[in-house]
Amino acid sequence: MMAKFIDIHTGMKGVTKQQLAQAHQKDMDHEDAEGVQFLHAWADPQSGKVFCLSEAPNKEAVLRVHRKAGNAADEIYEVPIEIE
């Protein structure tokens, strides 16, 4: 049973597209082992916030992947409701 999650990273002021792509690649290198799929990431270099959308069995799996990749998240929310 998969669910969707939004997690938030802080302290990434000045992050570039290349740095975000590298961090995202590290996450993806670890996602299969946890049954996680990162779907999208957005960054605000001014505030240093990064938002990741993922599909995963639970919050802990997402957090473990981020930790293993060296990208520990500060907050995570399960988002069972969405509107396109």
Interface with a second copy by CB under 8 A: which residues?
4, 6, 15-17, 20-21, 24, 39-47, 49, 51, 53, 77-84
Distance between CA atoms of 82 and 30, rounded to whole angstroms?
26
The CA-based angle 81-38-18, given to 5 degrees, is 130
Helix (H, G, I), strand (E, B) or coil at 53: strand
Minimal distance, residue 3 CB to a second copy, in Å: 11
State the minimum distance, in angstroms, from the CB of residue 53 to a second copy: 8
Distance of closest approach, residue 50 Cβ to a second copy, in angstroms:
9
